[in-house]
Amino acid sequence: MRAKPKPTTVTDDVRGSRPTTKRAKPETLAIFAVFALYAAFLLKLLLFSRSPGSERSINLLPFASIAQYAFSHSPGTARVAFANVAGNILIFIPLGVYASWLRPRAAAWLTMLKVASVSVAVEIIQGVFAVGASDIDDVILNCVGGLIGILAFRLLSAILRGRSRERTAMAVFSLLSMPVWVYFLFIIRLHM
């Protein structure tokens, strides 16, 4: 038996293989570092922006809050409604993207299940510790955001056609979004 020589440079365009290029480690480190910043901001926003016991309400009727926002004619309510609806969608788009990148071979419904599980867990924790309104509409809107993120990653993946290219694009996306997460996490005070 002859031993095969190990390649000195291996590309990782095969889905699911480990990063092996010189550029792969810094890119992967950047992605995980920015994902950690995003996750910390998400925790701060959803669980630590209110003092425990400050608010406890539960809505298990789908689309009740959204309908209340839609049919309210108060100018102040319209602004709050837009911020709530858009915010719940926008804040979970990165989670859909990152979850898709971490498990690119996973079926979209499994990735969606992970996003939904995170959202449901947050709503349960908010209800138990009275640090926000537990609302099924928030879960629905978070899932819409997660789905947008999943679809965006799938589109990016179809365009780039290669795991190393996806990683590079994710690293660039992560580094471009890093100032936003740093600003939200360390600069502004979130009191809701």
Q: Give pLDDT tens digits for 16-54.
A: 445 456 788 999 999 999 999 999 999 998 888 877 766
Q: Is residue 56 part of a domain?
A: yes
Q: Is residue 25 part of a domain?
A: no
d(CA 145, CA 94): 8
Looking at residue 49, its amino acid is S
**Which structure tokens are listed for 128?**
């138990």
Parent domain of 141: 52-161
d(CA 170, CA 166): 6
Is the distance from CB of 92 to CB of 146 less than 8 angstroms?
yes
Q: Is residue 21 part of a domain?
A: no
Looking at residue 25, its amino acid is K
Q: Which residues does residue 135 pair with via DSSP β-bridges, in sequence order?
A: 59
Q: How far is CA 126 from the centre of its chain?
A: 18
Q: Is residue 18 part of a domain?
A: no
Please count the structural domains in the chain: 1
The per-residue pLDDT for range 44-102, each reduced to its tens digit, is 988 888 777 667 788 889 999 888 887 877 777 777 888 889 999 999 999 999 999 99
Model pTM score? 0.83
